[in-house]
Structure 1
Amino acid sequence: MTISVYGMTVPIFTRMLTNLLAVMDKAEANAAERKVDTLVLSNMRLAPDMIPFRGQVMIATDHVKGCVSRLAGRDVPSWPDTEETFDELRARIRKALDLLATVQPEDLDGGDTREVTLKLGGKDVAMSGQAYLTERALPNFFFHVTTAYAILRHAGVPIGKRDYIG
């Protein structure tokens, strides 16, 4: 069985971003119980040299918009990275979900063979859509969603694998 580019992107991104919203709801409720400001959670990191929770959310959503746009042969929308609060981060996730809701399967037809050019290390690097999807976009997306989850778990939010997977 062959899975389409659409099947490897839109449903997966939608599910994981929806799960991230639910995890954030649990984190906010837990923070309220413990009388912790969610700005503390937004700025938490697993290590001093890591990007904080808010950055993980921004980068995960950047990979969503970048992936579906590039594979559809469209310009990648530009979103300012200014979100700090949980409400602002939720709005960004919903913006990504809204973008995904506009993508139709036929928009991504041929995306696996479309050439995608990324700026990596200051250089333009061209690759097939399939290589971009499987070697860059999906791994990066999952890395940042997983790290966002791990930051909240490390902060004591009572979440588990079922929350992550949905």
Structure 2
Amino acid sequence: MPLTMYTLSVPAFTRGFSALSGILDKAETFASQAGLPLAERFDARLAPDMLPLAGQIQRASDTSKNAIARLTTLDVPRFPDEERTFADLRERIAKTVAFLETVTPDDLDGSETREVTLSFPSFKTTLSGEDYLTKFVLPNFYFHVTTAYAILRHKGVPIGKADYIVGLG
């Protein structure tokens, strides 16, 4: 299969969400078996100025959906950031994956040359769709997936690299 905007995005996002679902399951099991409050993991963050676990998963969800929105003409679902439980986070992941499963290779065909403009308070830039996906979206998505993993690992959840790198076989 040739490398396409679709193969670079949708399968990567769904694998990332599979990893997130798995580590959430392990976190919940760990807390339950150890008699620890689940909220301690849910609200955990690595640094005071970073988003907590829920925020990391919300941003991974938004990053993947917004990438599809910017690279296609598809209507993308919006989810309010109202998750308060691990079940809510799993539901957010499931809804995101369900949307991603509706995206076809044809939807992303030609998007590598589409212009995407990003505006932030500190800078504004316009990228080709390919540069947007490879230089902004994928690093941003994996940053949030990795940070969610790191938060749970830091809080004692017995997870390892194999839990992060899933679906390769």
TM-score band, normalised by the shorter chain? Answer: over 0.9
SS at match of 2:101: helix
Q: Residue 105 of structure 1 corresponds to which residue in structure 2?
A: 105
Identical-pair percentage = 51
Is the deviation greater in 77-86 or in 99-108?
A: 77-86
CA displacement, residues 98-135 of structure 1 (integer Å, 9 cap, x when unaligned):
01100010000011111112221276532211111011
Q: Residue 47 of structure 1 corresponds to which residue in structure 2?
A: 47
1:76 is displaced (CA, Å) by: 4.2
SS at match of 2:36: coil
Alignment check: 8 A CA contact 2:42 2:85 kept = yes
How many pairs does the alignment contain?
166
Is the deviation greater in 76-85 or in 132-141?
A: 76-85
Q: Residue 19 of structure 1 corresponds to which residue in structure 2?
A: 19
Q: Residue 63 of structure 2 corresponds to which residue in structure 1?
A: 63
Q: Distance in 1 between matches of 2:148 and 2:137?
A: 17
Q: Residue 3 of structure 1 corresponds to which residue in structure 2?
A: 3
Q: Distance in 2 between matches of 1:20 and 1:130?
A: 25
Structure 1, gaps ≥5 residues long: none
1:75 is displaced (CA, Å) by: 4.5
- Structure 2-normalised TM-score? 0.92
Letter in 2 for 1:59: R
SS at match of 1:51: coil
1:31 is displaced (CA, Å) by: 0.4
Q: Distance in 2 between matches of 1:110 and 1:5?
A: 8
CA displacement, residues 40-82 of structure 1 (integer Å, 9 cap, x when unaligned):
2110011122111110000011111011221113354322111
Structure 2, gaps ≥5 residues long: none
- Structure 1-normalised TM-score? 0.94
Runs of 4+ in 1 over 6 A off after TM superposition: none
Q: Residue 29 of structure 1 corresponds to which residue in structure 2?
A: 29
SS at match of 1:112: helix
The alignment's C-alpha RMSD in Å is 1.5
Q: Distance in 2 between matches of 1:126 and 1:91?
A: 33
Letter in 1 for 2:18: T
Q: Distance in 2 between matches of 1:36 and 1:69?
A: 40
Alignment check: 8 A CA contact 2:77 2:99 kept = no
1:16 is displaced (CA, Å) by: 1.1
CA displacement, residues 8-64 of structure 1 (integer Å, 9 cap, x when unaligned):
001111111011101110110000011122222110011122111110000011111
